[in-house]
Amino acid sequence: MDNAKLYVGNLSYGTTEQTLTDHFSQAGAVASATIIKDKMTGRSKGFGFVQMSSEADAQKAIEMFHEKDFDGRPLTVNVARPMAERPPRRDNGGYDSGNRW
């Protein structure tokens, strides 16, 4: 069922998870909808993920909504890819801890 998870890009900053769920439910049953938000500001990053209940519903959603207007913007809708491996982040609070003294 991996192909039932959709990446949804170019979202309006005013789009909520509820309006996204309501919109995609026109294509079939929505298991979940998540909008990715900035950790510091809580503001939408303009993309999210919708998990449809079946691959058939996901394909129908792609056909219905890819490059179609939603909240004043043309959506990008495609099958979500697995997150790429990334090296661990060194979180030093934004300061370089190199010895310079």
What's the CATH code of the domain at 23?
Answer: 3.30.70.330
**Within a domain: 8:** yes
- Report helix angle 17-24 to 55-65, nearest 10: 100
Question: Comparing 97 with 17, which gets the higher pLDDT?
Answer: 17
Instruction: Provide CB contacts within 8 A for 48, sequence distance 6+.
Output: 8, 11, 17, 20, 33, 34, 35, 36
**Within a domain: 48:** yes
User: What mean pLDDT is predicted for residues 65-73?
Assistant: 96
Q: State the DSSP H helix or E strand holding residue 17, giving kind and residue range, or none if neither.
A: helix 17-24
**Within a domain: 35:** yes
pTM above 0.85, yes or no: no
Host domain of residue 53:
2-79
**Within a domain: 89:** no
**Within a domain: 95:** no
**Within a domain: 84:** no
**Within a domain: 49:** yes
The pLDDT assigned to 10 comes to 98
How many folded domains does the chain comprise? 1
pLDDT at 63 over 70: yes
